Amino acid sequence: MKAVAPLISVVIPVYNKAQYLETAVRSVLGQTFGEFELLMVDDASTDDSLERMSAFRDPRIRILRRDTPGPGGYAARNYGVGHAAADWVAFLDADDCWKPEHLAAISGAVEAEPGLGVVCANYESEKPGGAVVVKNPEVTEGTVLSGEEALRWFAERDFLHTSAVAVRCSAFEAAGGFPAGRAKRGGDSDLWLRLMLARERFAVLPGATAVYVRPHSDVMTDAANLEIPHLIARSAQEYLPLCRTRGERTALLRLINRKTVSRLRAKAAAGILRARHFRALEWRALRPGQLPTVLRLAATLVSSVARRREAE
């Protein structure tokens, strides 16, 4: 019997996530939309992740294996997409989960707007202490954005989370997939940015159907994370020539500044802020509200340098 809705391939990269797999996989198998395949990509795990994956009994599950782990799971996701049988692929990190209606919402958006390249479900972020925050509360009904409109949104907010995104496979491949081997952090944002500059249409859905759970016990400390270069601030500079309108260029520069200011704040709080970290700023594109923050951070840096010199 021919499926009423388009088939979706679900890709879960797995590297030493045995303790979280049950929740993630059960959330996929419990979807109200059943026309999917689940590709779990073992990224050379050294725990019992592979055994946990093999224990699931469902004909929609395929297990793929890689010999060498790749930072950020980027290579594993690319590998999964390369083996996908569907026109659309939805991503889920092994330590996140979905609500039962997640794939149904994505499928509905794809059917309603055949020209889409990306579907972004809304998502919840679970924070320490059990607080749950809906990331895009202003989205109360489905919104379809052009690539430039999506870039403007992205310059203002992180409205995409990998575990809440589905991409048309042809658009994914044309954009080059995730930047495996180029970065440990920021590769997801780098792909979203390339899809925006490729003029793909984005559907942003209301209602949080994905859950981003953090932090986990095996996640690096904040300071360690902050020392890893974030790809977006670097690669965005390379993409400036791809901008075809002034609006795209302005949005891209503002995206660079938003990401950079956010990391400057975090580095100041962690006590690792240095003068070189300010170089990524696009000073002429700073919003009026960002300048006081940048100046305060610069003053904090000057004070910390003075204290270090006094202590020497």
Buried b (16+ CB within 10 A) or exposed e, 194-231: bbbbeebbbbbbbbbbbbbbeeeeeeeeeeeebeeebb
Measured between its terminal Cα atoms, the distance across the chain in Å is 77
The closest alpha carbon to 189, from 201, 175, 168, belongs to 175
Least confident of 92-96, 136-140, 216-220, 295-299: 216-220
DSSP state of 154: H
E-strand stretches of the chain: 8-14, 36-43, 61-66, 88-91, 97-98, 118-126, 132-134, 143-145, 165-168, 202-213
Q: Which tokens in the block code for residue 60? A: 């929609």
- What is residue 142's predicted lDDT score, i.e. its pLDDT? 80
Most confident of 32-36, 134-138, 229-233, 307-311: 32-36
Tell me what pLDDT residue 235 has.
75
Q: SS3 of 209, please? A: strand
pLDDT digit string (tens) for 177-198? 999 987 777 889 999 999 999 9
Q: Average pLDDT, stretch 102-122? A: 95
Task: Report the distance separating Cα 307 and Cα 278, nearest Å.
Answer: 20
pLDDT, residue 125, reads 83
For residue 39, give every residue at least 6 positions away whose Cβ sits within 8 Å of its Cβ, in sequence order, or none: 9, 10, 11, 12, 62, 64, 80, 83, 84
Question: What residues does 293 pair with on adjacent strands?
Answer: none
| C-alpha to C-alpha distance for 202 and 83, rounded to whole angstroms | 24
Note if the pTM is more than 0.75: yes
pLDDT value of position 220: 40
Residue 46, SS3 per DSSP:
coil
User: In this structure, what token pair is assigned to residue 172?
Assistant: 């994914």
Note the pLDDT of residue 131.
Answer: 59
- Band the pLDDT of 141: cuts 50, 70, 90: confident
State the pLDDT at residue 63: 96
Domains of the chain, earliest start first = 8-213 (3.90.550.10), 222-311 (no CATH)
Query: Residue 3 — pLDDT band, cuts 50, 70, 90?
Result: very low
C-alpha–C-alpha distance, residues 58 and 28, integer Å:
11
Residue 307's pLDDT is 82
Q: Which residues contact 132 (CB under 8 A, 6 or more apart)?
A: 124, 125, 126
Q: Using an 8 Å Cβ cutoff, are 281 and 263 in contact?
A: no
